[in-house]
Structure formats: structure tokens, C-alpha cells
Structure 1
Amino acid sequence: MGSNIMKNLKFIIIGALIAAAIQTGLLVKIIYDRGQQLANGTEVHLQTGMVDPRDLFRGHYVRLNLSIGRILKKDVKIVGDLKRREAVYVSLKKGAEEFWVPVVIYSELPEASDNPVLKGKLTYIRNSKDPEKTTYQISFPFDRFFAPKKRAKELEKIRNDRKLGIIVALNKKGEGLIKGISVDGKSIYNEPIY
């Protein structure tokens, strides 16, 4: 009877060690993939306005109001059948200033694109009597930037009289990570890779 308990205990310990190794491996992969995207992803600069709310559980953050979050139909080409609450892919090109602007909205990830593509979710289509004034509202997975209280307050002061932007690193699937924050085209904060 004692040997059965020892056998069971041995299997439990081995199982726990295997589970811990798998979980550790998954965490390492997530951190590594994020670091690789920040280091090697295609960089685009997006114009944003910011608001400084506070979350009781996560602290201070800056809400990002991306200029590419609302796109007029007249400013872009539409490829595919766009549907609310579904993924869309926004092709970007460098604009007249330092910020990138949308040129095409795809309903599916394009196989080949001359420009970087950012994945978002079509949240609303505001139709107009004039079809060219139809507006597409798109949300992106990085609508908040968490910062220490002091940094969040600094950003709030800066945003009132300068051009704020975020630097985003894109991968081939159109997934973006915030790499940094820029003011008047100059990087003022870079996200640590690891």
C-alpha cells in the first residue's frame, strides 16, 4: 500500500513538473515573439489625441484617439465586403507629415501589399446621402497606453499644444504593438523590448 502512494506521488510530481515546464515555455515564447516584433516589425507613426483617465486596478493610462480610427470613404479604396464587428486590414502609407495615413481598407488580409497593413475591427459604418462622406469607424487593439502617474500627467500636458503620435511595430499579419510615443515627430518614449 505504501508503494502505491509513493508511485502516485511520483506521477503527481512528474506531472506538475511537466505542466510547469510547458507553462514556462509558453510564457518565454510570448515574451520572445513580442520582443521580436518590437525589434524587427515595420514601424509606422500614427497621429493621436490622448485623454488621461485612471483605472482603479491598473493605474494611470493614456487613452489613444487615433486619427485613423475614423476614415472617410473618399480618402481610401475599399477592397471586399466590409462588415461591422469583423476584422479589417488598413493599408498605410507615409503622409505629408511624419504620420502614416490609410489608403486601402481590406475585408481580408491581402496576400501582397506594397504598404504595411494594420489589423483592426470595423465598429461602425456611418452612411451618408453622399456616398463619399460615408465614415468607417475602426478600433485597434492598442487604444490605451499605460504609464506611471508622472509620465501620464506629462503626456496630458504635452498633448494640449503639440502633435502627439504613437510608433507602432507591425508584423506580417497586420498585428501591431506600441513601440513608443512621439511628440512633434521626435520619439520621447520607447517601449523596452524585454
Structure 2
Amino acid sequence: MNRTWRVIGAALLVAIVQIGFLAALIEGRASILRDGREVLLKVEPVDPRDLLRGDYVRLGYEITTLDWATIATGREPLRRGTAIMVRLAPGEDGLWRAVGARLADQPAVLADDDTVEIAGLVDSDLGGSEMLRATYGIERFYLPEGEGRPIERDLSVRPFRMLVAIGHDGKAQIKAFFDGSERLFDEALY
């Protein structure tokens, strides 16, 4: 009988740990959407193909391509997957743009309260040029069934925007998808 209670207790403990882990993941994402700093980014078209995962658009952003001059590392080579923090500032048109970057392990130097840092990864060096590509984990947006193809087709001809919430640690979550000033889709909190 004593062994049975230990097995039941161990099973309950494992279940509680698993549920706690999942709840922490969900709450982490929800807290960024609820409390993160909102920035509006210009969307650029990228050609997606994935028939098994549902309708989505694969997105690029104006902040995806960075000039070496904005990165506070000199010209030392950065490997793919290197963690960086990109400083964003609002433009007069309401869109946020990259104004600086640093390696993630370097200390933050924010100029003022009007800037925010977004966490990214170096995606690739663009062939020895003065440009570098970065990803931020917000490059896919899933849509209701049947909505993906029309938006994908129009990405290069209409001014799509993405409202992104950025947490205090720089992690970003997509909050809403805009066609010009019209809010097309909102991301659910949970």
C-alpha cells in the first residue's frame, strides 16, 4: 500500500511540474502581449510555402536588414545565430526603425525613453557587404483559413504593418496585423 501511494504521489508531482511548465510558457507570452512596449513595424514581403501548417504569411521587416555601422562591435565577423539587441526608435510616420545594435552580452546603452531594444539573432552576412540580416522570432503570422493567399499576393503593393509588443528583456510577440491603418487581425492573448 505504501508503494502505491508513492507512485501516485510521484505521478501527481510530475503532472504538476508539467502543467506548471506549460502555464509559465503561456503566461510568458501573454505578459509580453499584455504589458510589453508596442512598436509598429513596416512589413516586407517574403515568399512562403508550407501547405501542412495552415494559412500564414512569412514576413520580413525593415529592421531585418541592418547596416554594419549601426552595430557596436566594429567590423568583427558575427556568426549566424549570434544574439544581438537592436535599438528601435519611432519615426515621424509612426513606424519604428533600427537606430543601433549591440551584441546581447554587451551592456545596454539606451539613449532615452523613446527607444526600445528588440532581441534578435544574426541570420546571415550578406556576402561581405556592409549589410547584415537578423531575425526576431516574429517572421510568421498565422491567419484564418483562406486569408493567407490574398494577403501574400498584396504584400508588395499595399502598406502592411505589424504591431509588435516587446518585453523588458527584448523578446517580441506579434500583437496585431494592419493593412495601412485598418486593423485586420489581432493575436489572442492566450
CA distance in 2, matches of 1:52, 1:111: 34
CA distance in 2, matches of 1:157, 1:141: 22
Q: Does 2:73 align with 1:80?
A: yes
Residue 125 (structure 1) aligns with:
125
Spell out the pairing of 1:40-189 with structure 2 (5 A cutoff). 40-51=35-46, 53-73=48-68, 77-80=70-73, 83-85=78-80, 86-108=82-104, 110-113=107-110, 114=112, 115-126=115-126, 127-128=128-129, 134-189=130-185
Indicate the larger mover: 141-150 or 115-124.
141-150
Report if aligned partners of 1:46, 1:166 keep a CA contact under 8 Å in 2: yes
SS at match of 1:150: coil
Report if aligned partners of 1:59, 1:149 keep a CA contact under 8 Å in 2: yes
Moved over 6 A (4+): none
Query: Residue 97 of structure 1: CA displacement?
Result: 2.1
Name the structure with the higher helix share: 1
- Taking every aligned residue pair, what percent have the same amino acid on both sides? 29
Q: Return the index of the structure with the highest Cα Rg.
A: 1
**How does the TM-score come out when normalised to structure 1?**
0.83
Report if aligned partners of 2:166, 2:172 keep a CA contact under 8 Å in 1: yes
CA distance in 2, matches of 1:178, 1:192: 10
Alpha-carbon spacing, 1:189–1:32, altered in 2? closer, same or farther (3 Å): same
Indicate the larger mover: 44-53 or 169-178.
44-53
Report if aligned partners of 1:166, 1:181 keep a CA contact under 8 Å in 2: yes
SS at match of 2:56: strand
CA distance in 2, matches of 1:88, 1:193: 27
CA distance in 2, matches of 1:122, 1:146: 24
Report if aligned partners of 1:52, 1:153 keep a CA contact under 8 Å in 2: no
Structure 1 residue ranges without an equivalent (≥5): 1-5, 129-133
Cα RMSD (Å) of the superposition?
2.1
Structure 1 residue aligned with 2:2, among 7, 10, 25? 7
Query: Residue 135 of structure 1: CA displacement?
Result: 0.6
Report if aligned partners of 1:54, 1:61 keep a CA contact under 8 Å in 2: no
Report if aligned partners of 1:53, 1:60 keep a CA contact under 8 Å in 2: no
Structure 2 residue ranges without an equivalent (≥5): none
Residue 18 (structure 1) aligns with:
13
Alpha-carbon spacing, 1:25–1:147, altered in 2? closer, same or farther (3 Å): same
Report if aligned partners of 2:45, 2:156 keep a CA contact under 8 Å in 1: no
